[in-house]
Amino acid sequence: MNSDKFTSAPEDESLSGREKMRLATQSLLEVIPYVGGSLSTAYFGYKQEIRFKRLEQFYKEMAEKIEKEDISLVDIDEHDKEALFALVEQVNNQVEREVIEEKLECLKNIAVNSLSEPTTIENYDRRHSFLNALREMTRLDLAVMHECFQEERSRVIDLDVIDTDNEENVFSLFASSGRLESFGFLKVGSVNVVALGNSPEEGGDFDDERINRFVEISPLGIRFYKFCLQEA
């Protein structure tokens, strides 16, 4: 990408990848005997209706947020329009498919911040990468980011720190911290196993243990948190 000018992909009159997939799926549904045609029509009609309703609700809530919090938006001429429109399209695509409420709130924060702080060539890549990362994140990832940001210092993730209802929460936390590390949001240290209970000298057998991991939020993680998770 040219550092001085946002270069958009050349327009293509042929079908996009998404359109080809839609038509292929439609054709596959239609081969089902007796009900295929009706099922295909109903499925794609429902799919489009749900996506439109999600976008409608998203922008209604976003407008209410801007008015309620009296957020100032910069003039459209202060943005690089191609970069801004590319981000808006990416936000819309993710809103259409997202079902996790916490991530929809993050998408609202991203959209508002992208309009209140000029979207330029210089910050486009970072904002684009934040959206990509958010798309891959889980609710547990968001909880880990919230916890790590609170002190903006080194934290130890253990079962008392992160509230999760997953019965395999230890391994879920390790997977989460590894995923966040791959995004560049956390610095992850070693794993520690801490024995709990009475020692053999005290008549016990250390019948329980806690596994924790040392993590530290990175400068990029702080940027991500403030832009995507922190309320404006």
Label residue 199 by pLDDT band (50, 70, 90).
Answer: very low
Nearest to 210 by CA among 152, 149, 169: 169
The reported pLDDT for the residue numbered 206 is: 41
Mean pLDDT of 2-17: 47
CATH code of the region 139-229: 1.10.10
According to DSSP, the β-strands at 154-157 and 208-217 are antiparallel
Classify the C-alpha dihedral 76-79-82-83 as positive or negative.
negative
Threshold 0.75, pTM exceeds: no
Label residue 9 by pLDDT band (50, 70, 90).
Answer: very low
pLDDT exceeds 60 at position 27: no
Classify the C-alpha dihedral 101-107-110-116 as positive or negative.
negative
Mean pLDDT of 174-183: 91
The reported pLDDT for the residue numbered 131 is: 97
pLDDT exceeds 90 at position 22: no
pLDDT exceeds 50 at position 50: yes
* Per-domain boundaries in the chain: 17-136, 139-229
pLDDT exceeds 50 at position 204: no
CA separation for the pair 37, 61 (Å, rounded)? 36
- For the packed helices 36-68 and 101-116, what is the interaxial angle rounded to 10 degrees? 50
The reported pLDDT for the residue numbered 134 is: 97
pLDDT exceeds 60 at position 216: yes
Backbone torsions φ then ψ of 157, nearest 5 degrees: -85, 120
Asked if 180 and 210 touch (Cβ cutoff 8 Å), the reply is no
Label residue 227 by pLDDT band (50, 70, 90).
Answer: very high
Label residue 55 by pLDDT band (50, 70, 90).
Answer: confident
Mean pLDDT of 130-155: 85
Label residue 116 by pLDDT band (50, 70, 90).
Answer: very high
